[in-house]
Structure 1
Amino acid sequence: MPHFLELKLTNLLHKCSFKQLKQIHAFIVTTSLDGNIQILSKFLRRSTEFGEMEYPNLIFSQMGGIFCSDITLWNAMIRGYAYNGPFQNCISMYDEMPQRGLKPNNFTYPYVLNSCSELGWYIKGIKVHCQVFKTGFDNVFSVGNSLFNMYVRMADSFEVGVLKRGKFDDARKVFDDMCFKPVELWNRMISEYVGIGDVDCSRQLFDDMSERDVVSWNSMISGYVRVGDVRNARDLFERMPEKNVISWTSMIGAYSGCGDLETARAFFEKMPYRNLVSWNSMISSYTRNRKFEEALDLFVQMQLERVDPDGFTFVSALSACSHLGALEFGRWVHCLIKDWPKLAVIVGTALIEMYAKCGDANKAFTIFIKIGNKDVFCFNVMIRSLAIHGRIEDAIKIFFLMQKRGLKPNDFTLTSALFACSHGGLLEEGRKIFYNMEKHFGISPKLEHFGCMIDLLSRNCQLEEAQALVKEMPFEPDIAIWGALLGGCRVSSDLKLAKRVIEIAGKLNTDESGVYVLWSNMYASVGQWQEASSAREKMEEKNIWKRTGCSSVIHDSCGSDQVEGEP
């Protein structure tokens, strides 16, 4: 009869609710089954599987005598804390076991090691490893697997360097010492080597495998793709006994990564089956390589084949529209995005950038207002867009709003804010932002920040302060700095300083025509035609030519033509 009850209760425990568990507890107590260690351990284990440890802890604390010294009950509690937390309690119970005369076993160690990993208590984990080695449980797969995972996580906690590699070597030693290594573990080891860029070691493991699955092949191919070794990636791909969509998509990434979009597209077209990741990989490859029209053509094909895009697809398509100035196409893409405010903020930011670059700053601003959880990048794009469109006051308001929201400006934010001040003539605001960068934001001014500030001073006839800043900056001035100073010379009609600036800028190894054109125009504006002509001759001597303006007509899928002009 007791055996029948034990079997019946075991079956009930597997599928009971928490309320039913309490009823089973009452039945166990009233029928004096609480003296049966097998039933009690199964009940305690099941009580830890509801996500909370308060009830199991209450049951365990009420046990006395021999039960408090039973290893199965302790393992049940240790397992519960390892799954539900707090992880410290799992390790505390492990440390208390010797005081109770209990010896940890192969069921104890995996949970303790996992808890050490979760807490980042790697020194403690190494001490546990010593105990594992002394007791011989390192030959048990579950224990060895937990040790392997701990050393991998320990290695991941270090930046790239000697320490990281040293800890990863510890993981490899555990792997080598394991008696049983399923293919999944081999794949994990290969993947970890790929992750640190050690393709040679990953290939050695791959060649040593007695059995491989499609994951093994894909991991090795991705390793070669990661380091740009297209030849070996292609060789493995051709030898694969079975290819899946990941294999084909990896080859698209391999060829697009080295700029061979023709071969990447050929792989894309040959795929027996394409998923969303495949489409995204090909479209984003075109966008990264500035083949924006091809990216949009493929996006249209994707719609024709009724493949639903996701956030990554929309970002790539909107980026292509931004670079082409294809406003109507961008509006069509916008219409395809269902409930975009709930998508990642990156999609909303891509919409802002598209509308702003295509000339519709009002629509960009409307979208910005609608986005809920705006990040720093989103604010940066909006500040820059407003500044470019001449809405300087709005740009500065957004800059201060960002700080009120508790977001910390980064380098790009401050460059955009200074750019806005420069183009809006906000001299005092620009000074405050620039000279308080380090104090308020912990950011030391970089070359681009100096460039914006010198441009702001130069535009406002503060040439002496601008020159002093050029001398004080801890960087060698580039052509943009001298161009900003030269622009100030034009505003102030300071031909003497302009000539000196040109002499210095002329020594730079650059093919920038703007400085010479500006110099020529300055002399022409005051009627000094010989000097103006001399500046043009200098350009010819250096084989520098001003790029001619051009326009392109974009025909989009909505049936409208748009002219994009380039000054």
Structure 2
Amino acid sequence: MAYSLELKLSKLLPQCTFKHLKQIHALIVTTSLNQNIQTFSKFLRRSTEFGTMEYPNLIFSQLGPQFSNNIMIQNAMIRGCDANGLFEQCLHLFDEMPLRGLKPHNFTYPYVLNSCSKLGWFRKGKQVHCQIVKDGFESNLAVVNALFNVYVKMVDSGDPGVVNCRKLNDARRVFDDMSVKPIELWNRMISLYASVCDVQSARELFDVMAERDIVSWNSMITGYAEVRDVGNARDLFERMPEKDVVSWTLMIRVYANARDLKTARRFFEIMPCKNVVSWNSMISSYTQHGQHEESLDLFVQMQFNGIVPDKYTFVSILSACSQLGALEFGKWIHYVIEDWSQFGAILGTALIDMYAKCGDINRAFTLFIKLGKRDVFCWNVMIRCVAIHGRTEDAVKIYSLMQKNGLKPNDFTFTAALFACSHGGLVKEGERIFYSMEREFGVEPKLEHYGCIIDLLSRNGQLEQAVRLVKEMPHKPDIAIWGALLGGCRERSHLKLAEEVMEKATELEANESGVYVLLSNMHASVGQWPEAQIARERMEEKKIWKNTGRSTVYAS
């Protein structure tokens, strides 16, 4: 009877609803099954599969030592915590296992390692790795896969563009120690090398693979695209036994990265099948390389071909409109999007930026207010856009409102706010914002932040304070900072300091005509014509020329 009931419950549990689960719980408690650990562990495991751990935690807290100190029960809870995002609780249960006299095994480790990866607790992951080796589970496929994921995540967690060779080597050692390596893991290792531009190591793996699929070839081409190795990318592409839309799209990227947009466009035109990603790749390539008219033309062609754009398409096109000042085209894009709010903050920010850069700051501000969820990037764009349009006090108000909305300013926020203060002559406000960076928000001022505050002080009669800040700052001044000081010298007719600043600026050997012209004009304004001429001659000696101003008008 008990065996028959146990068999029936085993079949019911995987499909039962939460309501039925509670009925099953009552049945287990009121029958002899309440002593059957195997049945109870299946029930507990099923209870963790409804998106919350509230009910399983309640059940677990009421268990006696016979059940709570059982490995199947403990594994069910560890699995449930990991699956429901309670990663710290998962690791806490794992750490409790020795206290309960339990040893983890191959069903325990994958969930524990996944929780380490999700939390970014890589030191803990390494400790678990040591325990895995000690317990003899380093050959288990599920465990090693999870372990490999930890080391991959460790590499991915580094700063973009910074390759940590030790972390990469750790991932490779785990990969090499695997007794069984499915093709998916080979592809992941190749992609990992490609992501950090180590195409040589990626190619060595690629060449020794027993078998390859289309992902293997595409991953390798991606690596060559990153390092702009057109020759090897093209060679692999020609040798591929089969090509898909990803392969063709990658070749667009290869040539675009190498600034050969003509060949990229030829690949785009001869593709046997295009999807929205292919169109986006070509459009964004034009936008990124300043060929904005071509971006807009291709978008029109995309519309004629009936391809439905996505948010990435719109962001690229709106960026092109911003650069061209093509307000009418941008308005048409806005109309095409229809319900732009469904695409989130990224597209909303692109629309705001487009309207602002095309001169319609009021429409930009209206969209900003209507945008439901605004991230830090959106606030940063709005602050800078309002400041550029001369509404500097409004920019500072938006900066303050951002903090009241619970968002923490970042580097770019402070750059935008200080830019507003500098162009609005808001000295006290600018100083307050600058000195609050590290003190209140833990953001260390960078050179561009110093540049903004020094420009603000120099423009507004605080030249001595600006000079003191230049001497105290932990960065070597660039030409922009010397230029700001020189501008302050002009305001105060401080020729002696101007000459000292000019000497420092000349040491940088920067090809900036502005500082020479400014110094020359300063001498001329007080009748020191020989000195003015000398400044001009220095420009000619260094072959520095003042560029003629130009403007571009795009006809929508």
Which TM-score applies when normalising by structure 1?
0.81
How far did 1:268 drift? 1.6
- 1:209 alignment counterpart: 209
How far did 1:140 drift? 4.2
Q: Is the 8 A contact 1:45 1:80 kept in 2?
A: yes
Q: For residues 495-517 of structure 1, what are the alpha-carbon distances to aligned partners after superposition, in whole Å with 9 as ceiling and x for unaligned?
A: 66656656665665344333444
Q: Percent of aligned pairs with the same residue?
A: 63
Matched, 1:452 2:455: no
- 1:301 alignment counterpart: 301
Q: Is the 8 A contact 2:410 2:443 kept in 1?
A: yes
Change (3 A) 1:267 1:140: same
Bigger shift: 387-396 or 467-476? 467-476
- AA at the equivalent of 2:417: A
What is the correspondence of 1:125-524 to structure 2 with a 5 Å cutoff? 125-133=128-136, 138-153=138-153, 160-161=163-164, 163-175=166-178, 178=179, 180-435=180-435, 437-473=437-473, 475-493=475-493, 505=505, 509-519=509-519
- AA at the equivalent of 1:333: I
Bigger shift: 232-241 or 362-371? 362-371
- 1:95 alignment counterpart: 98
How far did 1:376 drift? 3.0
How far did 1:436 drift? 5.0
Bigger shift: 241-250 or 87-96? 87-96
Bigger shift: 67-76 or 297-306? 67-76
Distance 1:117 1:435 in 2: 37
How far did 1:382 drift? 2.3
Distance 1:143 1:499 in 2: 68
Distance 2:468 2:31 in 1: 92
Q: Is the 8 A contact 2:321 2:354 kept in 1?
A: yes
Q: Is the 8 A contact 1:340 1:347 kept in 2?
A: yes
Distance 1:284 1:261 in 2: 11
- 1:564 alignment counterpart: none
- 1:16 alignment counterpart: 16
Bigger shift: 41-50 or 273-282? 41-50
Distance 1:435 1:73 in 2: 55
How far did 1:3 drift? 7.0
- AA at the equivalent of 2:301: Q
- AA at the equivalent of 1:388: I
Change (3 A) 1:97 1:226: farther
Bigger shift: 142-151 or 204-213? 142-151
Distance 1:47 1:187 in 2: 36
Distance 2:445 2:320 in 1: 32
How far did 1:537 drift? 5.9
Match of 2:125 among 122, 126, 150: 122
Change (3 A) 1:329 1:11: same
- AA at the equivalent of 1:204: E
How far did 1:324 drift? 1.2
> SS at 2:353's partner residue?
helix
> SS at 2:372's partner residue?
coil
Distance 1:421 1:68 in 2: 62
Bigger shift: 345-354 or 146-155? 146-155
- 1:563 alignment counterpart: none
Q: For residues 112-164 of structure 1, what are the alpha-carbon distances to aligned partners after superposition, in whole Å with 9 as ceiling and x for unaligned?
A: 5555655633254134313442xxx5544334434444454466567743541
- AA at the equivalent of 1:216: S
Q: Is the 8 A contact 1:158 1:164 kept in 2?
A: no
How far did 1:355 drift? 1.9
How far did 1:54 drift? 5.9
How far did 1:360 drift? 1.9
- AA at the equivalent of 2:131: V
Q: Is the 8 A contact 1:97 1:104 kept in 2?
A: no
Q: For residues 347-404 of structure 1, what are the alpha-carbon distances to aligned partners after superposition, in whole Å with 9 as ceiling and x for unaligned?
A: 2222222222222222222222223333333233222222222212212222322333
Distance 2:154 2:526 in 1: 70
- AA at the equivalent of 1:122: G
Aligned residues: CA RMSD:
3.9
> SS at 2:554's partner residue?
strand
Bigger shift: 366-375 or 391-400? 366-375
- AA at the equivalent of 1:315: V
How far did 1:23 drift? 3.6
Distance 1:70 1:411 in 2: 51
Bigger shift: 245-254 or 24-33? 24-33
Q: Is the 8 A contact 1:116 1:125 kept in 2?
A: no
Bigger shift: 83-92 or 213-222? 83-92
Q: For residues 406-437 of structure 1, what are the alpha-carbon distances to aligned partners after superposition, in whole Å with 9 as ceiling and x for unaligned?
A: 43333433333333333323333334444554
How far did 1:493 drift? 4.9
Distance 1:209 1:360 in 2: 57
Q: For residues 233-256 of structure 1, what are the alpha-carbon distances to aligned partners after superposition, in whole Å with 9 as ceiling and x for unaligned?
A: 222221111212221222222211
Which TM-score applies when normalising by structure 2?
0.83
Distance 1:97 1:464 in 2: 69
> SS at 1:546's partner residue?
coil
Distance 1:104 1:322 in 2: 58
Distance 1:440 1:6 in 2: 61
Q: Is the 8 A contact 2:264 2:282 kept in 1?
A: yes
Distance 1:169 1:230 in 2: 27
Distance 2:524 2:226 in 1: 55
Bigger shift: 200-209 or 471-480? 471-480
Which runs of 5 or more structure 2 residues have no equivalent in the other structure? none
Q: Is the 8 A contact 1:81 1:89 kept in 2?
A: no
> SS at 2:552's partner residue?
strand
- AA at the equivalent of 1:161: N
- AA at the equivalent of 2:129: I
Bigger shift: 77-86 or 59-68? 59-68
Change (3 A) 1:158 1:98: farther
How far did 1:539 drift? 4.8
Q: Is the 8 A contact 2:451 2:481 kept in 1?
A: yes
Change (3 A) 1:430 1:28: closer
How far did 1:184 drift? 2.1
Q: For residues 220-239 of structure 1, what are the alpha-carbon distances to aligned partners after superposition, in whole Å with 9 as ceiling and x for unaligned?
A: 22222223322222222211
Change (3 A) 1:526 1:232: same
Bigger shift: 299-308 or 320-329? 299-308
Which runs of 5 or more structure 1 residues have no equivalent in the other structure? 557-567
- AA at the equivalent of 1:129: I
